[in-house]
Amino acid sequence: MKRIWLAPVLMGLVSVGAAPRASFDPKLPVFGARLAKLPAGPGMEIAARACLSCHSSDILRQQRLTEAQWAASVKKMIGWGADVPGEQEHALVRYLSSHFGPDNHRFEPTLTRPIGR
């Protein structure tokens, strides 16, 4: 009677071990790879230094934020340690809002594969 709990546990372990693994095309880039360059323009160097140390360029390229939203996001990232000196904050916000604002239609998602696959 005390071993009744063992059957469901064993069934669960067997079913997990028998689960099919997903297959991925090895030609796809690894998730998190920097696939695209940032658009040229004033503030690009600031964005590369401050943003790409933690984020891929695709994260920036897919955004469609207003200038006010970018300002709030930059301020938040500075609070989390982004390297943006005070005199460069406005230039960074202008760069991000001019290239990745509400009219941003340049982003095309890229298929990737998991790391280690």
Could you give the domains of the chain?
A: 45-108 (1.10.760)
Per-residue model confidence (pLDDT) at position 20: 65
Per-residue model confidence (pLDDT) at position 104: 84
pLDDT above 70 for 82: yes
Q: Which two tokens stand for residue 19?
A: 């689960």
Q: Biggest alpha carbon distance in the chain?
A: 74
CA 31 – CA 19 distance, rounded (Å): 23
Per-residue model confidence (pLDDT) at position 2: 67
Per-residue model confidence (pLDDT) at position 62: 86
pLDDT above 80 for 7: no
Cα dihedral sign, 41-47-53-56? negative
Q: Give per-residue pLDDT as tens, 22-76.
A: 677 777 777 666 567 899 999 999 999 999 988 888 888 889 999 999 999 999 9
CA 11 – CA 1 distance, rounded (Å): 17
Per-residue model confidence (pLDDT) at position 21: 65
